[in-house]
Amino acid sequence: MEEDKKKSRRKFFELGIKFGLLATVGTVAVAKAMDNEDSSGMVELMSTDGNIIQVPASEVHDVAHKQPEDYDPRVGIPDKKFVMVVDLAKCTNALKCQESCNKNHYITGKNAWLKVYKMQESEKTAPYWMPTLCQHCDKPPCVKVCPVDATFKRQDGIVLIDNERCIGCRFCMAACPYSTRVFNWNEPDQPAAAHEGEYTPDYAGKPSVKGTVDKCDFCPHMIQMGELPHCVSACPNDVYSFGDMYEDAVTNGSGQTFKLSKLLEERAGHRLLEGLGTEPSVFYLPPVDRNVDFEEGLENYTEFQSVKKTEE
């Protein structure tokens, strides 16, 4: 099961790259759903408007899935714009996302990068669970105020931090309206695994550096392997979908792919504090038509804790 899931996800990303190329030569941009080649030599593919079409297998060419040689963590992956959709109607505060994020980013502080807020706008409105992470804004206030270009915006939409350059002034934290940035107040007490390999800003937390700022990095290290970010794949309720805005497609942890524009239109998607003009890359679908019980999530809710001490 788990293996299948992984496979289909990987396929999704591979194909994204392939069909980006197809589009450039004027072919219909399509996304192959599965490689189920039938006897007539046709393959089934999914077009961008969601229809399954058949294309002769001979017309489909494999493109070597390789990172460009000159990949620069400050520039990002070319011709991509990564986005996330968070479906508030599905969130039950299971916290598997947070657990996975904390573990894979070796978070040892007391403030997780991904937090599930218990939200209730007013007494008369219904409560709901709202996962928050770095919103990877297209007009990031944090990047604007950084005096040394330590936090930066990549071409693929991801906002990262260079912990080897950050001077620890914390202006970015003051500027962030979403309070998603955390500071390494003390020497991080991380496991040895966090110190393996060379430092690169596209794997936040590996390692965390004392006196510098950390935050969600949208997992570029997973994207490069054709995988979904840790939180997306860990979620048992398919709350998160992740994808490329240029392909207009997002995929959830179960491997289901949706047309982004359609999803946002049908479900009235919005972004947090939209009025500030920060233009986040994270979209939220409102918590309507819920078949989940809000109360269920209270079991996991700890107001004063987001990183469990015993987490391995």
Establish if 144 lies at the interface with other proteins (CB under 8 A). Answer: yes
171 is a site residue for other proteins (CB under 8 A):
yes
Nearer to other proteins by Cβ, of 27 and 305: the residue is 305
Question: Is 290 among the residues that bind other proteins (CB under 8 A)?
Answer: no
- The dihedral formed by the CA atoms of 78, 196, 210 and 101, expressed in degrees to the nearest 10: 60
- Phi, psi (deg, nearest 5) at residue 158: -85, 135
207 prior amide bond cis, ω within 30:
yes
Does residue 78 contact residue 155 with C-beta atoms inside 8 Å? yes
Output 15 or 182, the one with its CB closest to other proteins. 182
Interaction of residue 100 with other proteins, rule CB under 8 A? no
> Alpha-carbon distance 50 to 261, whole Å?
12
Dihedral pair phi/psi, residue 274, rounded to 5°: -50, -35
Q: Is 298 in the site for other proteins (CB under 8 A)?
A: no
Stretch that binds other proteins, among 9-17, 27-35, 49-57, 175-183 (CB under 8 A): 175-183
What φ, ψ does residue 236 adopt, rounded to 5°?
Answer: -75, -15
To other proteins, the closest distance from the beta carbon of 92 in angstroms equals 17
Figure out which of the listed residues 23, 29, 57, 276 binds other proteins, where binding follows CB under 8 A: 276
User: Alpha-carbon distance 132 to 122, whole Å?
Assistant: 19
Q: By CB under 8 A, is residue 117 in contact with other proteins?
A: yes
Q: Where does this chain bind other proteins (CB under 8 A)?
A: 110-112, 115-119, 132, 141, 144-150, 165-171, 173-175, 177-179, 181-187, 210-213, 272-273, 276, 302-306
